[in-house]
């Protein structure tokens, strides 16, 4: 069954010396790089025994987004999307558990996590999977904004790891190429916003690290 699924995948049917294959290889590479970034973010939180400056809403939303993205990849026969989504979900979950232990969740954040999880459930149950996935991806702009806002309001980056944010910016650039090559509408819509917001996080990281 798995072998048959792979044979019907976008990557298998377009394999060769072309932009899609090159971008697919790049996205797999950057999936591992994102894993490394998440490991560093998790270690920063646990070493400092503090989650200050790291947005619970962004981390939890990204975790939910990636598991929904992995399932969407399974439905549309995209190896890159399936691999990227499922693998990164577990690393985001680990970071979220670290935030729960060392920062805690506010009542609002708990309600947000419940809402985010319900979006994943909707993705599993609905027949309009691309439409829901598009909504989930577009919705990721708001949690990223909350991360930027948290830094700005506190005038501090806290335990937000520069390696994680840099990797996410670079990975988003490569996923943007992949999205336009494969005509992946959700990523085509949200990634330009992601590039902008991750760029702002990095700018603020240097700005407020120097001033503190």
- Kindly state the percentage of the chain with pLDDT values over 70: 89
**Angle in degrees, CA 165, 170, 191, rounded to 5:** 90
**pLDDT digit string, tens, across residues 30-61:** 889 999 999 999 999 999 999 999 999 999 99
Predicted local confidence at residue 159, as pLDDT: 93
**pLDDT digit string, tens, across residues 71-98:** 988 888 887 788 889 999 999 999 999 9
The token pair that represents 80 in the structure block:
């890159």
Residue scoring higher pLDDT (5 or 105): 105
d(CA 161, CA 47): 12
Predicted local confidence at residue 177, as pLDDT: 77
Domain boundaries, the chain: 2-211
**Ramachandran region of residue 34, left (φ > 0), alpha (ψ -120 to 50) or beta?**
alpha
């Amino acid at each position: 069954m798995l072998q048959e699924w792979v044979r019907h995948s976008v990557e298998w049917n377009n394999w060769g010396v072309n932009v899609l294959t090159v971008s697919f290889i790049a996205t797999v590479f950057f999936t591992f790089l994102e894993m490394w970034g998440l490991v560093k973010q998790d270690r920063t939180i646990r070493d400092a025994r503090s989650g200050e400056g790291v947005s619970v809403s962004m981390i939890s939303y990204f975790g939910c987004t990636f598991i929904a993205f992995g399932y969407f990849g399974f439905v549309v026969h995209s190896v890159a999307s399936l691999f990227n989504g499922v693998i990164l979900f577990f690393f985001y979950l680990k970071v979220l558990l670290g935030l729960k232990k060392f920062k805690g969740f506010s009542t609002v954040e708990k309600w947000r996590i419940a809402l985010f999880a319900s979006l994943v459930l909707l993705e599993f149950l609905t027949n309009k999977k691309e439409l829901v996935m598009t909504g989930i991806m577009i919705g990721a702009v708001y949690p990223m904004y909350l991360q930027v806002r948290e830094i700005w309001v506190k005038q501090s980056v806290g335990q937000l790891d520069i390696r994680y944010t840099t990797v996410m910016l670079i990975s988003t650039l490569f996923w943007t190429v992949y999205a336009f090559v494969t005509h992946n509408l959700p990523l085509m819509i949200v990634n330009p916003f992601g590039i902008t917001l991750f760029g702002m996080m990095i700018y603020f990281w240097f700005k407020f690290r120097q001033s503190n």
